Every structure is written in C-alpha cells, then in structure tokens.
Amino acid sequence: MNKINQQKNINIIINDGMTKNVIVTILNFVMCCCVYITFFGFITGLIGIYHSNQVKTKLLMDDQLGAQSSANDANLWGNISIGILLFGFIVYIFILVFYGFFLFDELYYY
C-alpha cells in the first residue's frame, strides 16, 4: 500500500504559541495608530507567527528537535511582542494623562 499521500500521525504535543502570537500581533497593529513604537511589536509578532508555523511542518518531517527549537523561538518572539505592547500601552496612558492635565489647564484659564 502506498503511504506517500497519507498524513503522518503526530503523537508529540508541542505548544507552538500560534494563538498568542496572532493575538499579540493584532493588538500591536491596532496600537500602532496610537503609539508608533508598537509597530516593532507588530514586526516581532510576524516573526513569531513564522516560527510558530514552522513547528507543525518540522513535526511532519519527524524533526522533533527542530520543532522544539522553533517553538522556543516562537515563544521568545511572542514574549518580546508582549513586552513591546505593554511598553506602548504604558506610554499611551502616560501621554493621555499628561496631555489631559495640560488640556484642562488651558481650558481652565480661558
């Protein structure tokens, strides 16, 4: 029987972090409108999605060490994206607070 076209059975479970990378990439893209530093989080999120996609491909080729390495890389890039997102959110809140104080200060005197 020809087994070339059959998909291989994947018995190993490796967390590829695809969901985390996609969500963080979308949030970084949305935050790009407010704080431009999160554009770098968008780029690192795309890199994380690329490495997450490699995990399943390497498992199908029976490369377990390569799949684990790609999963670790995807997790690293996802965490970097989360850090950039949080930094951008803090900067955005900081700008809103101080701009709000200056805005109310100008409105109060006029």
pLDDT the model gives residue 14:
85
Other CB atoms within a 10 A radius of the CB of residue 91 amount to 16
pLDDT the model gives residue 11:
65
Do 100 and 106 touch, CB atoms closer than 8 A? no
Instruction: Answer yes or no: is 5 within a domain.
Output: no
pLDDT the model gives residue 62:
87
For the chain, the domain total comes to: 1
Give 20's Cβ-side CA count (13 Å radius).
19
Domain with 100, as residue range(s), is 18-109
pLDDT by 10s per residue, the chain, length 110:
444 444 555 567 888 899 999 999 999 999 988 888 889 999 999 999 999 999 989 988 988 999 999 999 999 999 999 999 999 999 989 888 887 766 665 555 55
Instruction: Answer yes or no: is 75 within a domain.
Output: yes
Instruction: Answer yes or no: is 8 within a domain.
Output: no
